[in-house]
Structure 1
Amino acid sequence: MTPRHHLDEVTIVGYSAGALPTALAVVAAAHLGICQNCRESLRNADAIGGLLLAQQQSSTMPSTVAREAMLAQLATTQQDEPRQHHDHLRNNDPDALPSPLHPYFGSTFSALRWRMVAPGVHRIRATHVTDGNLMLLRIGPGKSVPMHSHQGNELTMILRGSYDDTLGHFSPGDVADLDCDITHQPITSPGSPCICVAATDAPLRFDGWVARMLQPLIKL
């Protein structure tokens, strides 16, 4: 699995700093687990953050000692790639969910208990996430999500199936990292449902009046 759509650099820096809402951080961690490209960007962000922290901590130290401390911090950060991002890659079970999702949805696809929210659309919400909205979505083949934009940020990772929108084709492992400047209408590919994990930090903004009327019921 080689993703073609990746996390935005701002998201990676926020993840490195521990500044993302829980919902967004969970999806970011799931993508980092399968994406070498984004893990490399995370290592760079961690290294920069480590250097800045070391610089602050050593502001009262002699310049030679401060420089050595910064170099040691950089070397440690580059060598210690966070294992939690790729531990679940060792599990080749096609029924297994990515390990960052286990505390919120369980460990397997087969154990999921879906709730229908619209014809062809099923959802499972992570009810114990208080900062942001985290959910699994299963959308039937050939279905279109209503045209919408975003009042905040949306982070969606494809787990099974695929969809297309104005940003391209999204298949397993790909992540859509969207903000309030993006308006789109995903259309799932024929053949099999599209299953994704999605996180938002604010409600979506639907264009159509029917979708806006239903929004309080489906809580998107």
Structure 2
Amino acid sequence: MDKSEFHFHTAGEEWLAAYSAGVLSEAKSLLLECQIALQPHLAAQLAQIDCIGGEFLESAKGEPLSADFSARLSDAIARAENNAHSAGVGEADAARGAEGWAPKPLTAFLTRSEISLKWKKSGPGVSRALLSEVNGERLYLLKSRPGMVMPVHSHKGQEWTLVLQGGYHVGQSAYARGDLHCEDESCKHQPVIDDDGEECISLVADEGRLVFSDPVLRLIQPFLGI
């Protein structure tokens, strides 16, 4: 596909505001952090949202701090420092596992979680590496061969897909490295991987299994792991 047809895609301001407020899931927060690393101009938009949130906090009525607030704050700072140190020490190992296409927040997550990527087949031309599964939300990497036509499907709940390498298109919408594609149960679609010789690798957070239109795929879905 002609790269001139690509347009930047990201989550809406409501999701950036949810991230700023700290109410997004860990998986979706990681996707946004990775996109900000790939599309730095998003940081300015997030900073504006942070400022607005700060103004609301300043105008809000204060509440007395809990007795153990200082201790909990010290523990949180210590954990953050330990995580930062671990990420710095193990970053090279995690980067080798991700082969250079992973943005720094993903590399840090792999290091912090002590995850070594294990790719498993999820059908012809498609592999998946599960990273986490918390409260029904899965976080995984998806790798597809060039020119692959994915099955028509919808979703149970939301699915967020961040492109890390290569690209694909759905109808007239094209997605390249750094683009975030959000779908839910209301949409049926069929991604087609770009046939440019490069595998498409995406970071995906979904809240439920795919819903295939093909009855045969529905029968074998438990064996595909998707």
Tell me if the contact between 2:101 and 2:164 (Cα under 8 Å) persists in the aligned partners.
no
Q: Structure 1's 4 and 192: CA in aligned 2 closer, same or farther, altered over 3 A?
A: same
Q: Structure 1's 216 and 14: CA in aligned 2 closer, same or farther, altered over 3 A?
A: farther
**Does residue 149 in structure 1 map to residue 139 in structure 2?**
no
TM score, norm. by length of structure 1: 0.73
Give the alignment partner of residue 213 of structure 1, picking from 192, 199, 219.
Answer: 219
Tell me if the contact between 2:34 and 2:104 (Cα under 8 Å) persists in the aligned partners.
yes
**Does residue 138 in structure 1 map to residue 143 in structure 2?**
yes
The answer for the alignment partner of 2:66 in structure 1 is none
Aligned-pair identity in percent equals 30
CA displacement, residues 74-127 of structure 1 (integer Å, 9 cap, x when unaligned): xxxxxxxxxx9xxxxxx9x972521222255459xxx74421121111110013
TM score, norm. by length of structure 2: 0.71
**Unmatched runs of 5 consecutive residues or more in structure 1:** 60-83, 85-90
| SS of equivalent to 2:58 | helix
CA displacement, residues 147-204 of structure 1 (integer Å, 9 cap, x when unaligned): 1222221111111111111251111111112233332111101122111111112323
**Unmatched runs of 5 consecutive residues or more in structure 2:** 1-5, 64-83, 85-91
Task: After TM superposition, give the deviation of residue 132 of structure 1 in Å.
Answer: 1.4
The answer for the alignment partner of 2:27 in structure 1 is 23
Q: Structure 1's 151 and 160: CA in aligned 2 closer, same or farther, altered over 3 A?
A: same
Give the whole-Å Cα distance in 2 for the aligned partners of 1:54 and 1:218. Answer: 50
Q: Which amino acid aligns with 2:212?
A: F
Task: After TM superposition, give the deviation of residue 135 of structure 1 in Å.
Answer: 0.4
Give the alignment partner of residue 191 of structure 2, picking from 186, 195, 198.
Answer: 186
Q: Which amino acid aligns with 1:122?
A: S
Q: Structure 1's 128 and 177: CA in aligned 2 closer, same or farther, altered over 3 A?
A: closer
The answer for the alignment partner of 1:81 in structure 2 is none
Give the alignment partner of residue 56 of structure 2, picking from 45, 52, 59.
Answer: 52
**Does residue 97 in structure 1 map to residue 102 in structure 2?**
yes
Instruction: State how many pairs are aligned.
Output: 187
